Structure 1
Amino acid sequence: MKKYLSRINLVIVLNCFLFISCSGSNSDEPAAENKAPENLKVTATIVGASVQNPNGDGTGVVNFTLSAANATSYKITLGNGETKEVTNGSFSYTYTASGANTYVLYVSAYNAGKFVSTSLSITVLVESKLIWSDEFNTDGAPDASKWTFQIWDPGNVNSELQSYTNRPENTIVQGGVLKIKAIREKYGKGDFTSGRLESNGKFDFTYGKIVIRAKLPTGVGTWPAVWMLGSNIGSVGWPACGEVDILESVGKEMNVNHSSLHSPGRSGATPDTGTINVPNDNTEFHIYTADWRAGYIKFYVDDKLYYTFVNSDKFPFNKNFYLIVNFAMGGVWGGPVDPNFTSSTFEVDYIRVYN
């Protein structure tokens, strides 16, 4: 009986030895999950691309396929300031900057801290489309679905002298034009009244072409503007939110338009500014344009380019901004008001925003 059991035990021990030996025979080979990715392949198919339209159909949609042996995730820098991290290598992305733009993309495949990378460039056409506008074609108060009145006492910002009201005497749409009228009058805590409209909470956007047709007021001490603030101003404050001044002029310096950008360390008397002479800007309508993209913001008057700001991710100009139209009096830049000033009107024919 003992001999029989001993033979059984010997067989079991031998079998265990053989099993352990077989199991350990591949111990020198790395586990599959620890292998570095390899053979990274990237396919970028621009929707609608053809011999006639090599950059696509104008929608800006690109279908991506990323693949690599042993990869568990991918990261792609899309060339416009945005980055995507995905585990599924197939996805679509829509570029929004209008025109035919070339983007340099960087793609990496990852596995447990190991990675392989490659790069490629694509040129994508995005046809310009109107995404928001106010043509100011309905007489009466400004469209409440697009604008909010700011009602402020004098000195709320920039030591300005006016009280901002929502009265039709100061702000009205009439004859296809928005009219903001500054008036010398005793009102509330000040000696002037005027109007300020904001699209905050009703419309904001990232990147696009903003086109404004306007005629400026007259008088030393006037300070009209159409401009933008970062939508996160409530959480980060100014200038961290960023500010983009498209149309800005002061009556003490007639026929000159200023386009400026304010950001941390570059606010107040910002170095990021450009100017252009605009003859008869208070007697004729002119077209003021900002072309805002991830790589630059270009400013034009009547289609004449006069200032290019080089944008990048170190500035706050790569997120949602909202629109402001206002007519200030005096203040830190408007300066003393002409004692003979009684009233003047800032007229805006339309504001259009294209993708």
Structure 2
Amino acid sequence: MKKIKNIMNRAGILTFILLLIFQSCSSSNDGSDEGAVNPAPSNLSVQVEVVGKTAATPEGDGSGKINLKITASNAVSYKVLIDNQLKEITSTDFTYTFTASGTKTYPIIVSAYNAAGQFISSSTSVNIFVARKILWQDEFDVDGTPDTSKWGYNTGTGDGWGNNELEYYTNRPENVIVSNGTLKIKAIKEEYMGSHYTSARMLTKGKFSFKYGRAEVRAKLPVGGGTWPAFWMLGDNIDTAGWPLCGEVDILESVGNNPNVNHSSLHSPGRSGNTPDTATTTVPNSATEFHVYAADWSAESIKFYVDDKLFYTYANSASTPFNQKFFLILNLAMGGNFGGTVDPNFTNATFEVDYVRVYN
């Protein structure tokens, strides 16, 4: 009942907004002559066909496609409010494809207009299933340097990243390489450019970003006090808005000083640094076995999983930075505010990644 009530509330709000928009551009009818020339629209009917709908698949075939058949007397044009988008059409046939994966109910509001701008409206809804599809991926199945069409690098001393990290990030094969079907980011204890450790930080900035969907990594974590591997996202507007206004989503963070614990967190204005928007979950054998760390992101929520087990849900809203395009980052830091004290016996450690995938 709560779901139905929420849908109806949303439909009511959308109807109100739509009517205001439509009324602002409609023409008044001050005389009977105009009414005779342009009779008001009437008999509005909206039929919704879900593509692939059967008794076994009542929400469709997973394509997310629907067809609308609109009929009305005395109408010459139509406006359709669907999936928070306003479409203006003149045809009575309208096709739309939803892209957010999963099964959801969407309100639909249709208004029919005559030549004078008078209109009538009708609302309905559709329950539809959208199958998960790959938007972007790297399977790390070609030995050598990581794919430069997908990844770039942040390079330089660790204290330049605002966390008092100890490493110097490079793009050397000693620190980042693909071999035997996995990406290996290696932290090494060595004197390099004034730092005592080296490692790598890869990112898709300028090459790939997305808004809403599921991002996941299958990874095996490094061993050693002071290690700090991460898989995370930053807003595309970081160069202009800065941090934390751009928003940050940490999907995987773990530290060698507290092994087998995954942290998932969000950073935003007023909730950065020691953010309250965070949760942890135990991941047994995280350094000896591969696990899948993922975030499902929508306008309503960001849900965090390990091996498909949900452990944290963040309530998203229009007031957060998490409604724009974000890019991906993989890195292995040493020490710093979160990584903590480095084991004096540390020599090297490897963050091993089987794949990174992004779905709709």
Same fold (TM over 0.5): yes
Shift, 1:256, TM fit: 0.7
Q: Name 1:162's counterpart in structure 2.
A: 167
Q: 1:200 aligns with which of 205, 216, 219?
A: 205
Q: For residues 86 and 232 of structure 1, do their structure 2 counterparts lie closer, same or farther at Cα, with a shift above 3 Å needed?
A: farther
- Residue type matched to 1:64 in 2? L
Query: CA–CA distance in 1 between the matches of 2:33 and 2:191?
Result: 83
Q: 1:187 aligns with which of 177, 185, 192?
A: 192
Shift, 1:28, TM fit: 4.1
Query: CA–CA distance in 1 between the matches of 2:269 and 2:33?
Result: 50
**Is residue 44 from structure 1 mapped to residue 43 from structure 2 by the alignment?**
no
Q: 1:152 aligns with which of 142, 153, 156?
A: 156
Shift, 1:248, TM fit: 0.9
8 Å CA contact retained: 1:150, 1:165:
yes
**Is residue 133 from structure 1 mapped to residue 125 from structure 2 by the alignment?**
no
Q: 2:32 aligns with which of 24, 29, 32?
A: 29
Shift, 1:349, TM fit: 1.0
Q: Name 1:334's counterpart in structure 2.
A: 339
Q: 1:256 aligns with which of 236, 256, 261?
A: 261
Please give the residue correspondences for 1:49-68 in structure 2 after superposition, counting only pairs within 5 Å: 49-65=53-69
- Residue type matched to 1:48 in 2? G
- Between 201-210 and 271-280, the greater mean CA deviation after superposition: 201-210
Q: Secondary structure at the match of 2:99?
A: coil
- Residue type matched to 1:190 in 2? S
Q: Name 1:93's counterpart in structure 2.
A: 96
For residues 160-213 of structure 1, give each alpha carbon's deviation from its aligned partner in whole angstroms, at most 9, with x where no partner exists.
221110101111111111111111211113221100111122222222222321
Q: Name 1:102's counterpart in structure 2.
A: 105
Please give the residue correspondences for 1:109-128 in structure 2 after superposition, counting only pairs within 5 Å: 117-128=121-132
- Between 341-350 and 303-312, the greater mean CA deviation after superposition: 303-312
8 Å CA contact retained: 1:192, 1:329:
yes
Q: Name 2:230's counterpart in structure 1.
A: 225
8 Å CA contact retained: 1:66, 1:74:
no
Q: For residues 30 and 199 of structure 1, do their structure 2 counterparts lie closer, same or farther at Cα, with a shift above 3 Å needed?
A: farther
Q: For residues 286 and 103 of structure 1, do their structure 2 counterparts lie closer, same or farther at Cα, with a shift above 3 Å needed?
A: same
Q: For residues 163 and 36 of structure 1, do their structure 2 counterparts lie closer, same or farther at Cα, with a shift above 3 Å needed?
A: farther
- Residue type matched to 1:163 in 2? Y
8 Å CA contact retained: 1:100, 1:126:
yes
Structure 2 unaligned blocks of 5 or more: 1-28
Query: CA–CA distance in 2 between the matches of 1:190 and 1:228?
Result: 26
Query: CA–CA distance in 1 between the matches of 2:95 and 2:269?
Result: 35
Structure 1 unaligned blocks of 5 or more: 1-25
8 Å CA contact retained: 1:75, 1:109:
no
Q: For residues 241 and 346 of structure 1, do their structure 2 counterparts lie closer, same or farther at Cα, with a shift above 3 Å needed?
A: same
- Between 263-272 and 34-43, the greater mean CA deviation after superposition: 34-43
- Between 104-113 and 212-221, the greater mean CA deviation after superposition: 104-113
Shift, 1:118, TM fit: 4.3
- Residue type matched to 1:137 in 2? D
Query: CA–CA distance in 1 between the matches of 2:58 and 2:217?
Result: 33
Shift, 1:309, TM fit: 1.7
8 Å CA contact retained: 1:288, 1:300:
yes
Q: Secondary structure at the match of 1:268?
A: coil
- Between 116-125 and 166-175, the greater mean CA deviation after superposition: 116-125
Query: CA–CA distance in 2 between the matches of 1:278 and 1:52?
Result: 37
Query: CA–CA distance in 2 between the matches of 1:37 and 1:92?
Result: 22
Q: For residues 256 and 83 of structure 1, do their structure 2 counterparts lie closer, same or farther at Cα, with a shift above 3 Å needed?
A: same
- Highest Rg: 1 or 2? 1
Query: CA–CA distance in 2 between the matches of 1:205 and 1:101?
Result: 21
- Between 47-56 and 186-195, the greater mean CA deviation after superposition: 47-56
CA RMSD of aligned residues (A): 2.8
Q: For residues 164 and 67 of structure 1, do their structure 2 counterparts lie closer, same or farther at Cα, with a shift above 3 Å needed?
A: farther
TM-score between both structures, scaled by the size of structure 1: 0.82
Q: For residues 117 and 340 of structure 1, do their structure 2 counterparts lie closer, same or farther at Cα, with a shift above 3 Å needed?
A: farther
Q: Secondary structure at the match of 1:271?
A: coil
TM-score between both structures, scaled by the size of structure 2: 0.81
Q: 1:213 aligns with which of 212, 218, 233?
A: 218
Q: Name 1:76's counterpart in structure 2.
A: 81
Q: Secondary structure at the match of 1:299?
A: strand
